[in-house]
Amino acid sequence: MIDTFVLARVLHVIGVIIWIGGVAMVTLVILPAVRKFEQPERRVEVFEAIEGRFARIARVATVVVGVSGFYLIDRMGGWSLFQLASHWWLHGMVAVWLAFTLVLFVLEPLFLHRWFHEHGKSEPDRTFRLVQIMHWVLLTVSMIVVFGAVAGAHGWFLI
Sign of the Cα pseudo-torsion (3, 73, 156, 10, in order)? positive
**pTM (2 decimals)?**
0.90
Confidence band, pLDDT 50/70/90 cuts, at residue 6: very high
Q: Measuring CA to CA, which residue among 18, 104, 107 is closest to residue 61?
A: 18
pLDDT, tens digit (0-9, with 9 covering 90-100), for 72-127: 999 999 999 999 999 999 999 999 999 999 999 999 999 998 998 888 888 888 99
Q: Residue 2 has what DSSP assignment?
A: -
CA–chain centroid gap for 8, Å, is 19
User: 119-146, pLDDT tens digit by residue?
Assistant: 888 888 899 899 999 999 999 999 999 9
> How would you label 123-158 residue by residue, b for 16+ Cβ within 10 Å and e otherwise?
ebeebbeebbeebeebbeebeebbebbeebeeeeee
Helix, strand, coil percentages (3-state) for the chain, rounded to 5, are: 90, 0, 10
Enumerate the domain spans of the chain: 4-153
